[in-house]
Amino acid sequence: MISVVIPLYNKEKSIRATIESVLAQTYTDYEVVVVDDGSTDASSKVVQSLIAKSNKIRLIQKSNGGVCSARNRGIIESKSYYIALLDADDLWKPTFLEEQVILIHDFPKAAMWGINFAEMREGKIVRRVPTGLPDGYRGYVEHYFEMPKRVSDLFCSSSVVIRKDVFDKVGMFDERIKYAEDSDMWFRIIATQRVAFHDRYMVFYQWDAENRAMTKHRDLRSFLPYYVDKYKDPLFKQNQIFYRWVMRWAGVRIKYFYFNVPEQHEDAKVATRKLDYSQLPLKYRFELLTPMRLGKLIYKILK
């Protein structure tokens, strides 16, 4: 059985279609665990109306703690060995779970299996993000952190199935993070486990859904790079390729806040101290380890 975990917060316009896309699956051995994270609209009533029609759905209600808190609660409450994540405003093709089960059987050494996703607006596909893999790729993903043409994370919070015991190894979703919290989980899993991927569009991310996190103001303190020091843990640091890559990934983003967003300068100063400069190019040291005015001048020249 697969447990489908859906975090829910103020998505009364979207949640019905999302759950119905699960109920329409050709693979039927699943449960749906909806975690209402303190919604203030009619989201829970919509779910309850669907529960009356299907015994596969469970609704858990809790006070508001953020999407990571809701996902973690759903994972803990799930009854299955496999966890499928689905956001409350995204959609699956009817054969999504069926294809995931085939992937699990074909690539059993993986800890996470993903299928490609497309971004939609007004019901139309508006963007397909380059994966860095051959078109139609299906198999284990090797050298993830060294793929030069990869723009996409490959995985999104509505396109994966994860072995439940993996969370015991890499930890749960980080409840401090509000933006890129899903990327953090993929990084931790990929740095320590094998993963598999199928380049086939079966998941649809709806940009114009209500209450989208991607459209909200982003503070560095709620953004993954602020917590880059978490990867200094020996579990992640032992993967030297990943460790170097993630320090550079975070460094680029911290530099942006440090030099371009004055009101977040103090938080950016804190974040710069969390970087491991031994893993960064020399220009980062010139920019971030000199007095701010000089660093900003160097930043502009190099840019």
What are 140-147's contacts with CB under 8 Å, separation 24+?
140/107, 140/109, 140/110, 140/194, 140/195, 140/196, 141/190, 141/195, 141/196, 141/197, 143/241, 144/190, 144/195, 145/190, 145/191, 145/241, 145/242, 145/245, 145/246, 146/241, 146/245
CA distance 93 to 194: 25
Both tokens of residue 180? 């890129």
213: number of Cβ within 10 Å: 16
CA distance 279 to 210: 40
* For the chain, domain boundaries: 2-215, 220-302
Which whole-number Å values give the CA distances from 217 to 125, 206, 235, 251, in the listed order? 25, 18, 32, 20
Q: Check: CB of residue 38 under 8 Å from CB of residue 62.
A: yes
CA distance 1 to 255: 45
Q: What percent of the chain has pLDDT over 90?
A: 83
Q: Which CATH architecture has domain 2-215?
A: Alpha-Beta Complex (3.90)
Question: Max CA-CA distance within the chain?
Answer: 65
Q: What percent of the chain has pLDDT over 70?
A: 95
What is the pLDDT at residue 291? 87
Q: Is the pLDDT confidence value at 208 over 90? A: no
Rounded average pLDDT over 180-206: 95
What is the pLDDT at residue 212? 53
Tell me the whole-structure pTM to 2 decimals: 0.93
- Residue 36 gets the label, from left (phi > 0), alpha (psi -120 to 50) or beta, of beta
Q: Render pLDDT for 231-255 as a digit per residue (tens, 0 to 9).
A: 999 999 999 999 999 999 999 999 9
Range with the poorest average pLDDT among 66-70, 120-124, 293-297 = 120-124
What is the pLDDT at residue 161? 98
Contacts (Cβ under 8 Å, ≥6 apart) of 1: 29, 30, 31, 79, 80, 81, 82
pLDDT averaged over every residue in the chain: 93
Q: Is the pLDDT confidence value at 230 over 70? A: yes
Both tokens of residue 166? 């993996």
Helix (H) or strand (E) holding 286: helix 282-288
What is the pLDDT at residue 1? 95
Rounded average pLDDT over 46-65: 97
Amino acid at residue number 75: I
